[in-house]
Amino acid sequence: MISTLGTTSSALAETAYSGRDKLIAHSDEFQKRIIEVTDGVYAAVGYSASNVTLIQGKDGSIIVDTSANPVDAKAIMAAFGERVRHPIKAIIYTHNHPDHTGGATVFAGKDKPEIYSHKLLVTAKPDTGRGRRDGGDAFGTMLPDEDFINAGTQLEYGRTTPHTRDGFIPPTKTFGGAEKELTIAGVPLKLIFTPGEADENISVWLPDPKVLIAGDVFLKTFPNIAPLRGLPTRPVEKWVTSLDKLIALGPDFVIPGHMGTIQHAAEAKDALTAYRDGIKFVYSKTMEGIANGKTPDELVQDVKLPEKLAKHPYLQEFYGTVAWSVRGIYSQNAGWFDGNPTNIFPLADKERAEKLIALVGGSDKVLKSAQDAQEAGEFQWAAEQADYLLAVDGKNAAALDVKIRAFRELGERQMNATARNYYLTVANSLKTVRSSDR
């Protein structure tokens, strides 16, 4: 695709940015609203980085997930208004992620609700992260407004209100099995263990009316199976099994952990099934490729969703991508080594770069080639060549210029929010390195 960008055709130029246009349109998913999902069940969408659900009971209310922080939680409480029947009898965390557990104190108020979760939530570890090399940040927390579109599953996370754990309350009641039946405030419900995006994810099932509050095991985007931000590949096989369970429930209504709700049984079945089939397809094709001796790089080229799944609205690559999932599934199951003995003990980056640059005929030739690639619209190739120069001299200003522009161009062509945010945060950070060396 990128190799065609050097042409002057306006039609092609439009195609180049169609990913960004889709990402901009995707922001509509995060519009602030209270959705009356069905009698007595309300979802607050777009008020925070994640959804909060209110379930009215006979003598009180249940809150599922608590938003990212007390500031957002207060806005949601205000928006729910008189729909909240006090006391709050229970708060249920679908999983540990801070954008779901950060506002509990506000919902609890003085009502002393029980706090429910799966027992794995108690020992869940925070993301490893990756030290934000060159400022890289998948959430785009520090990007200037003009560079920022959204964070893939939320309009923003940590840009308006900094990340905090002030509003978290530890669970008071946990369960360890596959499911737990409860009646809270006269409402019969089931907590179902559905690991996927989080190891400890649970879904909340109301049998009458048939409402599924899924947590992050189901979102309107290709799932983030192997995120950029520095954490282990998600448990893919378990994720498929979890979706099997949710499909079998036959919900009439679905409230996902982020973005809008589904209000019809047929749509719920179609979306949950496509989501399951998308994950299953990528998993089985990758495993098949591993068995046939393919490398991760080869599999990234080979594994593409069938057209019907590729076009499905619940599998668009706003948050996760098929390519990263293939790499994640490969390393999760077959380890880091790709099977080519050249890669058992490869040359150090600097040594390889020195040899390649000498082979080509010197740094100037490599730089010229990188700049030419840039002009031809081959931004990935430009960045790769800049990396050879920077491996030898990390302060090579002309190479930094190529890399900065390449990342901006690549970022602006992305429909994936986390890739865009990563490209642009690193481009901006390198710009600072570049100007401080002048």
Interface positions, 200-239, toward Zn ion (CB under 5 A): 216
- Cβ proximity to Zn ion, 319 vs 379, nearer residue: 319
- Is the bond preceding 188 in cis, omega lying within 30 degrees of 0? no
Nearer to Zn ion, 219 or 404 (CB): 219
The CB-of-320 to Zn ion minimum distance in angstroms stands at 13
Q: Name which of 50 and 69 has its Cβ closer to Zn ion.
A: 50
Give the nearest distance from C-beta 74 to Zn ion in angstroms: 20
Does 29 participate in binding Zn ion (rule CB under 5 A)?
no
- Residue 60 C-beta: closest distance to Zn ion, Å: 26
Stretch that binds Zn ion, among 44-52, 86-94, 238-246, 318-326 (CB under 5 A): 44-52
Stretch that binds Zn ion, among 49-57, 157-165, 204-212, 362-370 (CB under 5 A): 49-57
50 binds Zn ion (CB under 5 A): yes
- Whole-number Å distance between alpha carbons of 120 and 124: 6
Q: List the one residue from 57, 171, 257, 260 that touches Zn ion (CB under 5 A).
A: 257
Q: Provide, rounded to whole angstroms, the least separation between the CB of residue 154 and Zn ion.
A: 8
3-state secondary structure labels for all residues of 122-180 = HHCCCCCCCCCHHHCCCCCCCCCHHHCCCCCCCCCCCCCCCCCCCCCCCCCEEECCCEE
Nearer to Zn ion, 50 or 421 (CB): 50
Least CB distance to Zn ion at residue 265 (A): 25
Show the binding pattern over residues 66-105: x = contacts Zn ion (CB under 5 A), - = does not.
-------------------------------x--------
368 exposed, middle or buried (CB, 10 Å; 0-12, 13-18, 19+)? middle
Q: At its nearest, how many Å lie between Zn ion and the CB of residue 198?
A: 8
For Zn ion, the binding residues (CB under 5 A) are 50, 97, 216, 257
